[in-house]
Structure 1
Amino acid sequence: MANYLAQFQTIKSACPCMIVAVEDVSDIWPTVKSSFEQRLPFKKACLNNKTRNPVFLENLRAEFVLTTDARLRSRFPQEQYLFWFREPYATLVLATCEDLDEFKNILKPRLKVFAQNDEREWFIVFVSKAHPSNDQATKMAKKVYAKFEADFSSKKRERCCKFDIHGPEPNFWEELEFRIIESVKNTLDRRIQFYEDEIRKLSEQRFMPIWNFCNFFILKESLAFMFEIAQLHEDALREYDELELCYLETVNMGGIYREFGGLDRGDDQAALLNPGKKSLTQIVLDETFREFEFRQYLFACQSKSMLPFCMREVWVITACLALIDATGTKYNGEDEAPEIVKEFYRVQGDLYSLCRTKLLRLAYLIGYGTEIERSPVNSHGSSNSICSFLLRSASLSMLPWPRPAVWPSVPDEASSEVDVKEKASYYFTFENS
């Protein structure tokens, strides 16, 4: 399974959202494609997380892809199940016909064969071409659709809906979204269970000679990535946290030589927020992960999850202070050349400067900009220069930030200005980048 690492990384980068497959049995997709794609992303979605609790989502990203597309063809069984997160989460079957004989002799047999595939979550959209002014065609379309419902829907589950090209019913789009989300939810539940079962099997072998962390990694991150594209960020973060714990246990197992890494050109510059800085095949050596690169990779994956307001700024501040404290307690400057001592304190000064920049920006965003400008520390400069300094510090931040569910406590007169300041900081960064 370790041989799939390079392919796994390529598939991840090419799979930014959920796929809804389109089985176009009547060659009608070009006619309705733009109308359907205008409904994306889905505005109201409810999916189950790992513990089967409902999570309500807004703007769930998805893409309609024809089943004849090269991305959905030529899949080997091993690849299909290993990378199951990239397979379609729903299949929309488009069909149209204008009389009962065509339905009985042509469409129905084809759809019956398709419906026998229990592995896919599917539903049928009957496309009516009947013009509202043509009563005869309208009546025939209703009769044909009634046959669709009778043959493919049941009391247990509705699997059909009707789309009128010349003017869909007022509730059609809501019904379509409901059918798609229902299929996505069922597929997601089934795939979560599959990955959990496979991960459990490997976990039971962790202390056996046949244990291979690469195999465990692919399954675990496949599950985490599936949560990401489903916008279940807390579940994704939990998978990465568990993956990190398992890796640390594996590293601490004796008897196996593991290269630490960090010796390649450019490794002196951390890539804490870029999981693609190095390919997975560069990180793996003899089916063991190089610790320096892999820990950075994990941290970058964890940082993609939704974080609380200003969490990145707070992390930078605390990380700098911790590094200053750790190096300061172990370094006393004795028996060192003056140039080395000077360089040490220069680097410490850079860390303090970065801390100050982040702290000022944090205070400015939550409404304490006026107090900063009046501070004796800043009395030597005008308020305009202070504002310019704070705006320039935005280039050190990872904007845009997620909006918090609850804002921090700020002065009453300042909270209304936060959005304006964030936008001003963003545009300044964009224009000067």
Structure 2
Amino acid sequence: MTSGQPVLVSYSGSPFFLASPSWTKIQHAFNTQLPLRNIHWKSSSRTSLRTIQELNVTLVNLDSIRDEHTSCQLARKAAPEYIRRKLVAHLLLQDADLESYRNTVKKQVKDWHASVTSRRNQEWLILQIVKPDAKVPTGSFLKLKGSVLDKLRADFNADKRDRCVQVSWSSTQDSPIAWGEFLNKLKDGIFSAFDTAVLQKEDDIKRSEGQRLMPGWNFCTFFILKESLASSFEGMNLVSEALLQYDELEASFYQVLREKNLSWFGTLITPGLKDDSSPLLSISKKPYRDLILANTISVFDFRTYLLTRQCELLAKYGHLPEVYRKVGAFLGAFGRRLKEIEVTGFNLLLETLPLHFVESWIYSSALSVVEKCDAWQSGLKVDTKELAPFYAGKGKLLELARSQLDTLGMKTQHLPCRPPFCGVSDASVELTETSSLLKISNEHLLRALEDKEAFYDLYINITNRAIDIHRGRLSTALTTYTSLPAHYAPHKWTSLQSLMLSRALDIHESLEKPKDREWIHILLSFLSIYVENGAELLLLCEQDALVYVRRLVEELKSAAPELDQDFAAITVHIPSDARPASDRDGYVLDAVLQSHLPCPRRQPTNQPGVLEQQSGTPLELNTRSYEKFIPLKD
């Protein structure tokens, strides 16, 4: 993703020239050379070289840009434009002879030069446009002493940098090569001005940081100052530098939080009418910067704004899995904080928050971020092999949204307060008499709270989304659930292993795939964990778990001809050596057969067996009569 805020480059020229068809054609020819590409920036305050693949540039008439002194307040509020409005100005000159230069052009250039050099952190260029067939008095082209170009250089190049350039152009001979020198000088000018502005801004930030312990220091003012630098980096497509500024601001906020010095903020949360249902990553839903400048922003709104800016930059960087991670951590941490206050009975806050606000906020925010990331991802060119972290993060947010329905379902008795629903941490929270009578604004949740069938429809929909059923990605989900247990096994997270394998079996059935060796291996892995740890890993009651496992075992028996056993359903233990039989020819061998299956298994009676000796001679075995194996209980 590229920046949506182009760098502004102003131009000036005679009114007659700028109103002519020639200027329209020249402007069109210049715009075809944009955006600027492969720009290298090496700041004196940094050790590494930054490369910008593309930089958008927009030409604007100098007269259309407000004077800096009359728009300083606007510049403070519109931080992205604070630096980008002051980079390069250039003057356009049509082909002129020496006489016209001495009589009129020189004074015009001098007045323009005085105007643009009075502005801070702004570079300038003088562009002379000549026709390819232009004739010069004598000497080689562009090198004749006394040409207009030489006069411009002599009169206005005060330092070693050459800011005067000539472009040989006509509408019939429009070659990109003609613009090469001008574009290189434009790149140099942009980043020379930008570097000067950045160094000045960084000095201001360091000075403010040094005054942090002094009376009168204000975190919100410091935030605006540092954010203006971040926005300037963003405008130049230096996304990593911009993100670093916000990460440092986040660290500064946590330091203020540890010091319990939140005097620059309002309350913890002052929810608006639709705070529980509005998109989380939207900076336009509230005047966040005005609230920060006024020192009245709540901690909730500040954290939301900071998170939004970080996620927008991560999206431009193409790091969408990190967006999911940061959002999940934020919703979990801030949601727990609000729920802790509910549990402690902070009456003032409970009267402020609408009923079910926390669940509605987490639910709506998680789903809005999923939609936002889907939109961002559609604009990125990503190898399909690199999409696994993206879908993993997406699945976690969908699971987080579903868990809020678990809580709401149990609070409204739409769901039973038992596994798998009571696994959520806030299931035991009960509404108190001091709870607010205000309502949440999420229409889907309001309908679901009042109508059990609407709740079930919503619950099924979000559950299906969590495993990509409605998007037809069952094969991907099956591969994911099958591979995950191997990651949990070294940590002995048997509950997670059991859950992943159980879901793999469910998806395998939904795909109507044949119960082949792959399915058998998944099932045997699941049963091997189940027999060791019991029904509690399934988050089902004992009776439901027994029915579920019995069905799987019956299906396994039907698929047994294809089975290559990787664990023993029955083990045989020989407690003693063989001894001669007292009532018949042969020997008696005691054997203990133990079933590892969780349900009884019927066996045929009086079935003889054959055991082959090392010599190859078969021995006939006669077993005592039995009907079924009973699972061994502790």
Task: Say which of 36, 53, 73 aligns to 1:58.
Answer: 53
Task: Say which of 201, 217, 234 aligns to 2:240.
Answer: 234
Q: Match for residue 301 of structure 1?
A: 309
> Could you tell me how far apart the structure 2 residues matched to 1:352 and 1:229 are?
40
Which stretch of structure 1 is more off in the superposition, 344-353 or 290-299?
Answer: 344-353
Q: C-alpha displacement at 1:16, in angstroms?
A: 1.7
| Contact 2:33/2:176 (<8 A) preserved | no
Q: Match for residue 355 of structure 1?
A: 466
For 1:164-183, list aligned pairs within 5 A.
Answer: 164-166=168-170, 167=173, 171-183=177-189
Residue type matched to 1:209 in 2? P
Give the TM-score normalised by structure 2: 0.49
| Contact 1:20/1:64 (<8 A) preserved | yes
Q: Match for residue 271 of structure 1?
A: 279
Q: C-alpha displacement at 1:230, in angstroms?
A: 0.6
Task: Say which of 260, 266, 269 aligns to 1:253.
Answer: 260
| Contact 2:168/2:178 (<8 A) preserved | no
Q: C-alpha displacement at 1:200, in angstroms?
A: 1.6
> Could you tell me how far apart the structure 1 residues matched to 2:12 and 2:477 are?
51
Q: C-alpha displacement at 1:199, in angstroms?
A: 1.4
Which stretch of structure 1 is more off in the superposition, 265-274 or 77-86?
Answer: 77-86
> Could you tell me how far apart the structure 2 residues matched to 1:47 and 1:136 are?
38
Task: Say which of 77, 89, 92 aligns to 1:91.
Answer: 89
| Contact 2:474/2:511 (<8 A) preserved | no
For 1:391-430, list aligned pairs within 5 A.
Answer: none
1:334–1:27 Cα change, 3 Å? closer
> Could you tell me how far apart the structure 2 residues matched to 1:265 and 1:293 are?
14
What are the ranges of 5 or more consecutive residues in structure 2 without an aligned counterpart?
Answer: 325-389, 408-422, 433-448, 484-503, 514-634
> Could you tell me how far apart the structure 2 residues matched to 1:290 and 1:249 are?
17
Q: Match for residue 203 of structure 1?
A: 209
| Contact 1:26/1:94 (<8 A) preserved | no
Q: Match for residue 288 of structure 2?
A: 280
1:283–1:150 Cα change, 3 Å? closer
Residue type matched to 1:357 in 2? D
The count of residues paired between Structure 1 and Structure 2 equals: 363
Task: Say which of 10, 13, 37 aligns to 1:24.
Answer: 13
Q: C-alpha displacement at 1:286, in angstroms?
A: 5.3
1:138–1:321 Cα change, 3 Å? farther
Look up the SS of the partner of 2:127 in the other structure: strand
Q: C-alpha displacement at 1:358, in angstroms?
A: 9.8
Q: C-alpha displacement at 1:354, in angstroms?
A: 4.2
> Could you tell me how far apart the structure 2 residues matched to 1:192 and 1:47 are?
12
> Could you tell me how far apart the structure 1 residues matched to 2:270 and 2:49 are?
42
1:48–1:72 Cα change, 3 Å? farther
For 1:6-405, list aligned pairs within 5 A.
Answer: 16-25=5-14, 27-29=16-18, 30-31=23-24, 32-48=26-42, 51=46, 53-69=48-64, 71-73=65-67, 75-76=69-70, 78-79=72-73, 82=76, 84-115=82-113, 117=117, 119=120, 120-128=122-130, 130=131, 132=133, 135=135, 142=142, 143-153=147-157, 156-166=160-170, 167=173, 171-251=177-257, 252-254=259-261, 256=263, 258-280=266-288, 283-284=291-292, 287-305=295-313, 306-308=317-319, 311=322, 312=324, 313=390, 314-319=392-397, 324=403, 328=423, 330-333=425-428, 352-357=463-468, 377-381=507-511
Q: C-alpha displacement at 1:187, in angstroms?
A: 1.3
Give the TM-score normalised by structure 1: 0.69
Which is greater in Rg? 2
> Could you tell me how far apart the structure 2 residues matched to 1:173 and 1:285 are?
44
Q: Match for residue 487 of structure 2?
A: none
| Contact 2:84/2:235 (<8 A) preserved | no
> Could you tell me how far apart the structure 2 residues matched to 1:322 and 1:165 are?
61
Listed one character per residue, the Cα deviations across residues 371-416 of structure 1 (whole Å, up to 9, x for unaligned) are: 99x9861544589xxxxxxxxxxxxxxxxxxxxxxxxxxxxxxxxx
Q: C-alpha displacement at 1:245, in angstroms?
A: 2.1
> Could you tell me how far apart the structure 1 residues matched to 2:138 and 2:479 are?
66
Which stretch of structure 1 is more off in the superposition, 38-47 or 308-317?
Answer: 308-317
| Contact 2:224/2:293 (<8 A) preserved | no
Residue type matched to 1:268 in 2? D
| Contact 2:5/2:235 (<8 A) preserved | yes
- Structure number with greater CO (CA < 8 Å, separation at least 6) is 1
> Could you tell me how far apart the structure 2 residues matched to 1:44 and 1:348 are?
50
1:321–1:15 Cα change, 3 Å? closer
Look up the SS of the partner of 2:91 in the other structure: strand
Q: C-alpha displacement at 1:67, in angstroms?
A: 0.4
> Could you tell me how far apart the structure 2 residues matched to 1:55 and 1:138 are?
45
Q: C-alpha displacement at 1:359, in angstroms?
A: 12
> Could you tell me how far apart the structure 2 residues matched to 1:375 and 1:123 are?
69
> Could you tell me how far apart the structure 1 residues matched to 2:149 and 2:199 are?
36
> Could you tell me how far apart the structure 1 residues matched to 2:39 and 2:127 are?
20
1:291–1:379 Cα change, 3 Å? same
> Could you tell me how far apart the structure 2 residues matched to 1:367 and 1:261 are?
42
> Could you tell me how far apart the structure 2 residues matched to 1:223 and 1:157 are?
27
Q: C-alpha displacement at 1:357, in angstroms?
A: 2.8
Residue type matched to 1:92 in 2? H
Q: C-alpha displacement at 1:348, in angstroms?
A: 8.1
> Could you tell me how far apart the structure 2 residues matched to 1:231 and 1:365 are?
35
1:273–1:81 Cα change, 3 Å? closer
